[in-house]
Amino acid sequence: MGDESLLAEMKSRKRRLVLLFTLLVGLYLAAVPTYYSIFVSRAESDPLRVRLILFGLWVIFGLYVLWRAWGRDEVIEQAMADRRSAQRQVRTSATEDVLDALTRPGVLGLPESYEITIYVYDAVTNFLEPYYPHVSLPAGQEDHRRFQPGRGSTGRAWEEGHLFYVRGEPVATDEFNLTEDQRELFKTYRSAAATPIRDDQGGKIGVVTALGPVDDGFFEPRGHGQQLLRNIADTFGVVLTSVPDPADLVVSRQ
């Protein structure tokens, strides 16, 4: 404990000495041109050797100040980067907690048999990427929940800009351009409804999809299921545009 205290005291003393030296250097840099500006005649009368020495020191000290400023900027940038990283972790954790709470069976009013998946559109890959929930996959294995615009109920909802509902066997057939792997993945589902997620400006940022194992007609137009899903999409729109770090939500608003 004593060694740590001594080390801390030495570091503090070193910082004070560096600060004092930097202050003196700054005064010197200001004093030399000021001196020759006030006493113009001394610029000619002082020996050349003296003027060269003063100028050489002025250059050296100037470079020292620039080096200190550069180092300080690096420290500040690192501190800001560390803070951004910490904030990003907090935002990520908060997003996970909020989405976990909202997507639990029955919480948002959907029948407990329905599973919710949140997608965001990535303009680089031109895919609706599964954003939540996360699925652990072996290294190098593709997530077959990904959809291109126009494919599956998710892709159709994105492309057409409104709720898209599929019931019965077509949920897991190639009728809506599912790949073979997707047909295998979704073969146990008989109800699928998807609707766009929008930001507060009305632009599309993703899709929420609800999948159920039974063709129960919950999303038929005559019921309240479709409006419920739209309300859920609005809720996710608020979450996705408010909680995550913008860098973690790479989307194209359309």
Looking at per-residue confidence, does 49 or 241 come out higher?
241
- Four-CA torsion 43, 48, 51, 55, nearest 10 degrees: 120
Pick the CATH number of 103-248 from 3.40.50.300, 3.40.50.12780, 3.30.450.40, 1.20.120.790: 3.30.450.40
Report CA-CA distances (Å) from 154 to 29, 63, 86, 95.
67, 60, 34, 22
Q: What CA–CA distance (Å, rounded) separates 30 from 50?
A: 17
Mean pLDDT of 187-197: 96
pLDDT tens sequence across 219-229: 998 889 999 99
Mean confidence (pLDDT) of the chain:
82
pLDDT tens sequence across 70-79: 777 676 677 7
Q: Where are the domains of the chain?
A: 2-93, 103-248
- pLDDT at residue number 59: 77
Residue 210's contacts (CB-CB under 8 Å, 6 or more residues apart) are 110, 114, 115, 116, 191, 192, 193, 194, 219, 229
pLDDT tens sequence across 160-172: 999 999 999 999 8
Q: What CA–CA distance (Å, rounded) separates 154 from 185?
A: 15
Looking at per-residue confidence, does 247 or 189 come out higher?
189
Q: What are phi and psi of 194, to 5 degrees?
A: -140, 145
Report CA-CA distances (Å) from 41 to 51, 52, 56, 221.
13, 16, 20, 95
pTM: 0.66
- Cβ atoms of 103 and 133 within 8 Å: the answer is yes
Give the three-class secondary structure for 179.
coil
pLDDT tens sequence across 21-70: 777 766 766 676 776 666 666 666 777 677 677 777 777 877 777 777 77
Percent of the chain topping pLDDT 70:
83
Residue 101 has pLDDT above 90, yes or no: no
Instruction: Find tokens 């593709």 and name the residue.
Output: 142
